[in-house]
Amino acid sequence: MATALRERLARQANGGSQLTFNPAFQDEPRLVFVPLNFIEPDPNQPRKNLGDLSELAESIRAQGLIQPLIVEGIALGRYRLIAGERRWVACRQLGLETVPCLVRTVAEHDRLAVQLIENLHRQDLHPLEEARAFHRLLTEFNLTQRDLAQRLGKSLTSINETLRLMELAPAIQADVRTSEHISKSLLLEMAKAPDAATQRALLEKAQAGQLTVRQARNHKQDRFPDVNRPTSCTMVVAEAQVAVQFQQGEATAERVKTALEQALAFCQSPMK
């Protein structure tokens, strides 16, 4: 019974069945109740913004701390937090004296992976924070996007799309962190903009509530009408290759048709 409970708590603390990336814990977990003031945060915790803790605190107040913190011993009776910083802070705000903890021993490098992956399972995770976590897991743990998709239970398209947010200019990323009501779809349109100035213009409109995803897409097209749009059309027909090159503007089907009709009329007219 005790073993089954310990295993269930361990699975919960590790993110349940979703957490298939299993860094090298060096021991079996021990479930203990630890005084909150004996636990200190990890100074290298990758999370920069804890977000709103009010709902989490209310849940803990009503139901208790169902998911234990993960800690490691650092001195006699003292522990350092490995995973569960938001829960730890919420418990402190509630004035709890002791909390259930799974005591683990983990290598320094693997601690980062545990923290990053726990962050990724937050329901309120900001899209940019998710992108940064993906990027760190790829670069610091030599994973491919396919590895990451398989180990996090996400599609490869979702991973690739989220990583696109890293193309936002650094200054834009800093401002986006405080703009919680901008959707991921809108951020992706900003990331596709060709330069920081366009990203800034889109961000300012979004912050003012004056920008939809469609408007963002149209804004880029209107500002850069000829970027990546073909200005010529080449056709291979029987015994000939026909090319139509426009001095400006896109080589749309209608414009090509009109140009060919004009060229044919010119060829059929009497030579002077």
Q: Tell me the pLDDT tens digit for each residue of 51-85.
A: 778 888 998 998 888 888 888 888 787 898 888 88
Q: Catalytic: 72?
A: no
Tokens, residue 182: 């901008």
* DSSP three-state, residue 152: helix
Candidate list 7, 58, 85, 261, residue with the active-site label: 85
At 227 the pLDDT is: 44
Task: Give exposure, 198-223, as e/b (b: 16+ Cβ within 10 Å).
Answer: bbbbbbebbeeeebeeebbeebbeee
Q: In CATH terms, is domain 2-120 a member of 3.30.70.1400?
A: no
At 51 the pLDDT is: 74
Domains of the chain, by residue range, sit at 2-120, 126-166, 168-224, 232-266
d(CA 61, CA 70): 20
At position 266, the amino acid (one-letter code) is F
Counting runs of H as helices and runs of E as strands, what totals does the chain give?
Answer: 12, 7
Tokens, residue 138: 């790829």
At 248 the pLDDT is: 67
Q: How confident is the model at residue 19 (pLDDT cuts 50, 70, 90)?
A: very low
Burial of 256 (0-12, 13-18, 19+ CB in 10 A): middle
Question: How much of the chain, in percent, has pLDDT values that exceed 70?
Answer: 71
| Under 8 Å between Cβ of 175 and 186 | no
- Beta bridge mates, 235: 242
pTM: 0.54
d(CA 208, CA 111): 40
At 193 the pLDDT is: 85
